Structure 1
C-alpha cells in the first residue's frame, strides 16, 4: 500500500507482531539491503479469534493510518482560512500524504519535494511551521534549516526535522542547525501532534514575552552575537530604528521596512508570528513606553514629552497613554514628585 517508504509500514508491523506475542528481527548488509524476519507462535494457546478484535490492536493500527472512508483518504474537516500554515518538505509522496491526513483539519498544508524548493517557498510565503525530511535531493533538510535559521526573514519559523536515523549523533546534528524539534521515523499520529502542540505553546509563551516591551528598555548587557536569540535581536533592531526616528510624527511602516531591508508583507508576517500584534501597534507602543520613561526620569513637561515621542496632539497622546498603561500622564508625573 501507500505506507512503504514512510517507515510507517515497519512500525505498524512491529506493533502487530508485539500484540500477537511474536518477534521481529532484521539482518542488513551495506549495498545489498535488509531482510526482516517475523516469528509468530503457533500453539494451541496462541492469541486467536476474539483477541484479534481487542481495542489495543485497533488502536495500534489507527495510530499509523490516515482517517479513511471507503477507499478514499479523508482530511476530516478541511482547514479554514486563517488557520496556521504548515510547509511539508519531503521527497516521499507517501509521507507527505500521511502528514497531510494527520494535520489537514487543523492546518493549511503546503508541500515542496526537496530542500531547494522548500527554502524558496519558505522565503516567499513565510509558513507558520515547517516539517522537513533530512535526506532529500538538491538540498538536504539540514542545509535548508541552517539557511532559514540564519535569515532574519525566517529565523522565527519553528522547524521539525524528520529522519530515519535515530542515533544520538544525528539528533545532535539536526538540533545544531537550529531545528526546534526532531522526529525519528517511524512516527505515529499522536507523536507528531504532540510535537506540533508543544511548538505552538512555546510560540505562545514567546509572544507573551515579546508583547511586554519592558525587555526592550532594560539595560543591555553586551553578549556574544551567537548568544543572542535571533528573534530578540530582530526586535531590538526594530526598536533601535524606531527610537532613532521617535520625534518624527511622520515616521511610518514603509520607512521602517526600508531601514531594515524587508518587504512590508514579510515584516507583517514575521512580526505577527513573534508578537501576535501589528507593526503599527508596535511603533505606537514604543513611542508610549519611551514617553513613560521620560516622564519618570526627566523634568520635561507632558507636552514636550508628547512631542519628543512623535505625538503632535496632546489629547491624542494622553488618550493613547491612558489606554496603554491604565493611568494618565499626569498621574505618572505626580507619582514621581
Structure 2
C-alpha cells in the first residue's frame, strides 16, 4: 500500500500541482487549512504532513505546533512548504517541531527526496527496535509527547508482563485510551499492532533475564507471560535469530541453563 500524505494548501492551483507530483508515489489526502487538517488527523492514519504556512483560520505554524503537542499524532513528520524565506521564519518553524522546511518555488525532486528520507529514517528505527534485544521502546520517540507516551506504555506493559491475557483491550483500559486511538498510535510509531508490541516486549524482557539472572529458560518464559515454553522458544528464535538457549549461552560465556 502507498504511504498516506496529508497535503494542506489553500491555493487550488498549487494543491493540484503538488498532488500531481506526489500521487505516483503516495496516496494524497488534501485539506484547505489547518482546521480541516486536524479533523483528518483525528479520523485517519497519516504518514506525513506537508503544509503551507500562509493559510486562513489556522496557519502552518499553528498546525505544526498542534500536531507536535498532541499525543494522538505527535509522531507524524511535518514538512513546512512556504514562500516565506527569511531565517527567522525557518527558525520559528523548526522550533515548533517541523521536520523539514522547503521554500517555494521548489524542485519536485527535492520534495520527494525529503519525504523519502523522513519516512525511511523512521522505518529503520522501527526495524532496529523490533530486531534488537536491547533497543528500548522510547528510542522511537520523535517529540516529548511521543517520549512520554512510549515511556508510559512501556511501564504499563512491564508492570503486567506476566499476565498471559494482556491484550489490546486490557492495555487500552490501563492506558486510559480508546482502543482505536491506542491501536493507531502504536501502529504509526512502531509498525506493530498492540498485541505484537506486547509480545516483543515480553521477548526483550526475557532476553534481559536470560542474560543477567541465574534462571532456567522455562522460568523465564513463565515470568514474561508465556503459557508454553515451546511457543516462547519459537517466538524468541523468530524475533532475534537465535534460540533462548543459544542467546543465554552467548551471554554467560558458553554456559546455559537448558531446562
TM-score, normalising length from structure 2? 0.86
- 3-state SS in 1 of match to 2:136: helix
Residue pair 2:6, 2:50 contacting (<8 A) in 1 also: yes
Query: How far apart, CA to CA, are the structure 2 residues paired with 1:228 and 1:125?
Result: 20
**Does 2:50 correspond to 1:135?**
no
Is the contact made by 1:86 and 1:109 (CA closer than 8 Å) also made in structure 2? Answer: yes
**Counterpart residue number, 1:304:** 219
Aligned to 1:265: 180
Deviations 1:62-101 (A, max 9, x none): xxxxxxxxxxxxxxxxxxxx21111111111111101111
The structure-2 alpha-carbon separation of the partners of 1:192 and 1:307, relative to structure 1 and needing over 3 Å to count, comes to same
> Cα distance, 1:263 vs. partner?
3.3
Paired with 1:113 and 1:165, the residues of 2 have a C-alpha distance of 19
Q: Is the 2:137–2:150 contact (alpha carbons within 8 Å) kept by the matching residues of 1? A: no
- Post-superposition offset of 1:318: 2.2
Measured in 1, the distance between the counterparts of 2:243 and 2:80 equals 50
TM-aligned CA distance change 1:305 to 1:175, over 3 Å: same
Residue among 186, 194, 201 paired with 1:286: 201
Partners of 2:86 and 2:165 in 1: how far apart?
56
Report matched runs for 1:1-337 at 5 Å. Answer: 82-211=1-130, 212=132, 214-216=134-136, 229-335=144-250, 336=252, 337=255
- The verdict on how the C-alpha distance between 1:164 and 1:333 changes in structure 2, with shifts beyond 3 A counting, is closer
> Which residue in 2 is equivalent to 1:50?
none
Structure 1, residues 91-124: CA drift from partner, whole Å, max 9, x if none? 1111110111111111111111111111121122
Equivalent-residue separation in structure 2 for 1:139 and 1:228 (angstroms): 21
Q: Distance in 2 between matches of 1:325 and 1:170?
A: 46
1:124-171 Cα offsets, whole Å, 9 max, x none, are 213111111111111111111111101121111111112221010001
RMSD: 2.5
TM-aligned CA deviation for residue 217 of structure 1: 8.4
Question: In structure 2, do the counterparts of structure 1 residues 194 and 334 end up closer, same or farther at CA, with 3 Å as the change threshold?
Answer: closer
Gaps of 5+ in 1: 1-81, 221-226
Q: How far did 1:190 drift?
A: 2.1
TM-score (norm 1): 0.67
Supply the distance in 2 between the matched residues of 1:240 and 1:287 (Cα, whole angstroms): 12
What runs of 5+ residues in structure 2 fail to find an aligned partner? none
Judged with a 3 Å threshold, the aligned counterparts in structure 2 of structure 1 residues 329 and 190 are, in CA distance, closer, same or farther, namely closer
Aligned residue pair count: 250
Name the larger-Rg structure: 1
Equivalent pair of 2:68/2:143 in contact (CA under 8 Å): no
SS in 2 for 1:215: coil
Structure 2: distance between partners of 1:204 and 1:106: 17
How far apart are residue 180 of structure 1 and its match?
0.7
Q: Any idea what SS the aligned residue of 2:164 has?
A: coil
CA contact (8 A) 1:216 1:236 kept: no
